[in-house]
Structure 1
């Protein structure tokens, strides 16, 4: 709740610029409140000059900017939001009004979508790079050109690693930036927090999950590691960090806001991330690992059914990296990997659901996200399809889970086993170049079209979206 003094200033600003209807959108920088107005002539400059704490104004590039100074502008901005001025366009305001309706779960899904939609292009591009690299560097594919993995240039491998690994290694940076933006924090602090979470000074989450590295130990029992590739932990830290910053700003004197607010906020955020959120999710990874091992051993195809249905929920949490350990152990002990086909079924099912949304929708913006993310999922990267389409609209994600469950059941019944790991969907074909090849294609197609059909019939239409 903004202080009464700043609520009064906000009301004076609205009155001076011609009323709330004259404000199209609002933002702020370190010192100025920036207003995009519909009619410059409705603004009464003399009233703006007399607003308490205002130090001047000017109009440039379509923006009416009122100078309040460091610290003060943040509080005025929060008060403007509190009295009803939206920081988005008119269309965005309609979306926010819709977000306030419905159940808490629906609102959470919408917020989740708002955070992840802006980073979808980066994930789609990375997914394409990953799929192509996995395809081109497989021994079977190289053999067609008389090459072996050893004959590939190290420089070429380095370039492909930069293309494929950067977005996922620094995924917490993207998530924190977007979460801070959505929850009202400073996006720059979100970027900095995200960079701290993947600092090279910390052991990577991948090494710790796969047992090739040890977490740092604090106070004899708190295990600390990086957040590489994390989704839900970074999302939680983005939410907590943005709210910490806003609370700190309210108690810090305006003259010291530029120095103290980021200092105190970042310190609190990092301590919370390293010593509470991170360790909790590390323990959750270990519990998940044992639970999945137990599920996979269930008879009569039940293990594949359950794991195929749950796999992409695990991906949403960001805890799926720990599951690589299961595949590594299975390959080392038996030379086969039964998990890969189940994972593939869950992945192509999400692709099928997203594809159904894209085909059925008449909205250009929906299609623009759905079709590229479908292709990315068919190359093994489902994050764009889930965060940009399926989770955002709710039911398509559930239909994708059902498609994955059907595919996982078939994979278990027919005892599908890969000869390797780390590639799925279309590139994953290279792990089944034996008598399983056509069965791999059949199960993938069934998973895709079960999810597609369910989404088409029950999961999505533009009328539901409008509602």
Structure 2
């Protein structure tokens, strides 16, 4: 079955194009909001070639396809739909307010994550290539590296975070029905070179502008929350103006008034308030992660896997982005070895299972989890069996505890398990490998010894 055939079959089993309200995708899953949930034939979808599983969460039917493939199937689905998607007013609201808010949060940040992942990899590579031992292999020292080369690496590593507000405003405008190009411009205004640079202000190298004697105005390089809020407000302003301004003046007045009102609110009200809230949130998270005796890592490592199941893991992206832009490091990534723990638990099930069918699911799921993609293992193996999932939580907790004790820090985000090595290409790499080996081993041993029995196989219905 080729990609087009698979996309066509998915649309058919969803209930046809008339039952599809909207289609999005994240790194591994096709996420579909339907008009009528009852029309979905989930059992047949799960049997499709290349489909690794499916589930309903936060008002979305999510089909697990895996990295790379999900992008291709999404493109084919959109081609087949060709704009024949139901109007948003025709679909009932799925889930409670919190679930809908989390879904919107994911829709905004998921398109941005690949750029930040690439930036994190560039940071890791720069850290590796500028180490004295590595430079010595080509007869160089850190002092002899050409300035032009260092500038080139800075372009690769600094651009995405320097202009992050533009990315966030663009995506927020897109999700809330505004004109994305206006979102980009508003985001660029937040980091206009004419404003005092946020990093320089933070290092006391520059002073913020002071308006009316008490409002401090500065750029928002690397800031997340102010850009997110002004993206919501700006898109709503634009939509309101389009209902009030005559068509003959819309092209001129709507963009003008949207940009003027949005940047005024951003610089004088929303920016100062929400930047402080952003800092408080970051300090609160850092406080929890710095609890004594590795307690923060133990708790987060144990329970972080539940975030994905409940569909609220994209909230963590906000925190990770904040950490990277404010401190240059990500301390949440290393205390999240749950993916490799899932690999250990799934492998134990695969080895011990008597059912050939379960083995065929568990072996590739374990390999997928070792590459950082846990949905096949979670929804196809460990969660239905319950106890293996609990063992993976314990393994993740032990790994998170160890990472916290060792003070591991990542240079980027989103990559975990084996691909996560790219975020630790410095003197932390041996410690990162140790943490993941421990998490994998604990989950594997516990699952193999007390977490799985062949009598549990009837819990998985295929």
TM-score above 0.5, yes or no: yes
Structure 1 residues 286, 221: closer, same or farther in 2, change over 3 A?
farther
| Kept in 2: contact 1:349–1:451 (CA 8 A) | no
Contact 2:107/2:175 (<8 A) preserved: yes
**Aligned equivalent of 1:164:** 157
Structure 1 unaligned blocks of 5 or more:
1-19, 26-87, 328-339, 358-370, 379-384, 458-467
> Which piece of structure 1 moves more, 176-185 or 104-113?
104-113
Structure number, greater radius of gyration: 1
In the alignment, which of 414, 429, 433 is matched to residue 441 of structure 1? Answer: 433
CA contact (8 A) 1:295 1:307 kept: no
Alignment RMSD: 5.0
Q: Give ranges in structure 2 of 5+ residues lacking alignment.
A: 1-16, 23-80, 305-312, 347-367, 384-388, 414-419, 446-450, 452-462
Contact 1:344–1:444 (Cα < 8 Å) also in 2: no
Provide the residue aligned with 2:76 in structure 1.
none
Number of the residue aligned with 1:320: 323
The 1-side partners of 2:88 and 2:340 are apart by: 26
Deviation at 1:423, TM superposition (A): 7.1
> Post-superposition shift, 1:189?
1.0
- The alpha carbon displacement at 1:269 in A equals 0.6
TM-score, normalized by length of structure 2?
A: 0.55
Q: Counterparts in 2 of 1:55-454, with a 5 A limit?
A: 89=82, 93=86, 100-209=93-202, 212-288=205-281, 290-291=283-284, 294-295=287-288, 298-305=291-298, 315-317=317-319, 318-321=321-324, 324=327, 342-346=331-335, 349=338, 406-412=398-404, 415-417=405-407, 426=421, 429=424, 431-432=426-427, 438-446=430-438
Alignment partners' CA distance in 2, 1:94 and 1:351 = 41
Task: Say if 1:107 and 1:450 are closer, same or farther in 2 by CA, change over 3 A.
Answer: farther
User: Could you report, residue by residue, the CA deviation over 1:382-406 in whole angstroms, capped at 9, with x for unpaired residues?
Assistant: xxx99xxx9xxxx9xx999998765
- Does the residue aligned with 1:128 lie in a helix, a strand or coil? helix
Summarize the Cα distance change of 1:289–1:176 in structure 2 as closer, same or farther, 3 Å threshold.
closer
After superposition, the Cα gap between the structure-2 partners of 1:446 and 1:270, relative to the gap in structure 1 and judged at 3 Å, is farther
Give the match's secondary structure for 1:223. strand
Is this contact kept in 1: 2:163–2:191, CA < 8 A?
yes
CA–CA separation in structure 2 for the residues paired with 1:168 and 1:255: 39
* Number of equivalent positions: 323
1:257: Cα distance to partner?
1.4
**2:53 corresponding residue in structure 1:** none
* Partner Cα distance (2:426, 2:196) in 1: 30
CA distance in 2, matches of 1:118, 1:452: 34
> Helix, strand or coil for the counterpart of 2:107?
helix
CA distance in 2, matches of 1:247, 1:269: 13
Is 2:121–2:411's contact at 8 Å kept on the other side of the alignment?
no
**CA offsets, 1:12-39, max 9 Å, x none?**
xxxxxxxx98xx99xxxxxxxxxxxxxx
What's the offset of the Cα at 1:119? 3.8
Check 1:100–1:297 CA distance in 2 against 1; reply closer, same or farther (3 A cut).
Answer: closer
**Is the contact made by 1:206 and 1:321 (CA closer than 8 Å) also made in structure 2?**
no
1:316–1:403 distance in 2 versus 1, CA, 3 Å: farther
Contact 1:345 1:403 (8 Å CA) reproduced: no
CA distance in 2, matches of 1:353, 1:238: 37
CA contact (8 A) 2:119 2:156 kept: yes
In 2, are the aligned partners of 1:206 and 1:322 still within 8 Å (CA)? no
Quote the offset at 1:120 in angstroms. Answer: 4.4
Q: Quick one: structure 1 residues 247 and 169, their matched pair in 2 at CA, closer, same or farther if it must change by over 3 Å?
A: same
Give the Cα–Cα distance (whole angstroms) in 2 for the partners of residues 422 and 202 of structure 1. Answer: 28
Give the Cα separation in 1 of the matches to 2:150 and 2:92: 45
- Per the alignment, do residues 251 and 211 of structure 1 end up closer, same or farther by CA in structure 2, a change over 3 Å counting? same
1:301 counterpart SS class: helix
Cα distance in 1, alignment partners of residues 203 and 398 from structure 2: 29
